[in-house]
Amino acid sequence: MPPRFRWSLPLAAIILLGSLAGCGGGGGGSSSSGDGSPIPAKTLSWAAPESYTDSTLLNPLTDLSEYEIHVNESGTFADTDTPSAIVSAVDTATHTLTSSFNLANLAPNLSKGVVYRVSMRAVAVTGLKSDFSPPASFSF
């Protein structure tokens, strides 16, 4: 069985959700929710995995393809779920690791006042996927 990724730290400990306007991947500022009201920026931040589960080292710049970001209200995530967003692991313009995403970019699929759960997983260039990170909660 091929190795799977292991996060360098428990992702729940390194996921940072903040409402910092203008921060986060894929645009800043605010977006509109399904009801047309503005949603403020909410930044999801993470650290790339550094090894596979068998402790083999991994180079995130060359070995990772993307991150899947999954958002729902239940906090239960399955391999068959469609990601809410897919983010390139490496910024092609700067050749640096991507480490954040503005969850407001998922509007109009999100609503103010609803508590959502977010979980991520890394995808290798070979197609292997990490386990889901422990879910973190957020709302707008």
Mean pLDDT per segment of 10 residues, for the chain of length 140 residues?
44 39 39 64 90 84 95 96 97 94 89 93 91 91
Question: Three-class SS of residue 37?
Answer: coil
| pLDDT score of 5 | 52
Token reading at 138: 């957020």
**Amino acid type, 81:** D
Q: What are the sequence ranges of the domains in the chain? A: 5-138
Cis peptide before 108 (omega within 30 of 0): yes
| pLDDT score of 53 | 77
| pLDDT score of 37 | 65
Which class does domain 5-138 fall in?
A: mainly beta
Long-range contacts of 125-131 (CB under 8 A, 24+ apart): 125/62, 125/63, 125/64, 125/65, 126/2, 127/65, 128/2, 128/3, 128/4, 128/5, 129/4, 129/5, 129/68, 129/79, 130/4, 130/5, 130/6, 130/7, 130/49, 131/4, 131/5
Distance CA 99, CA 9 (A): 14
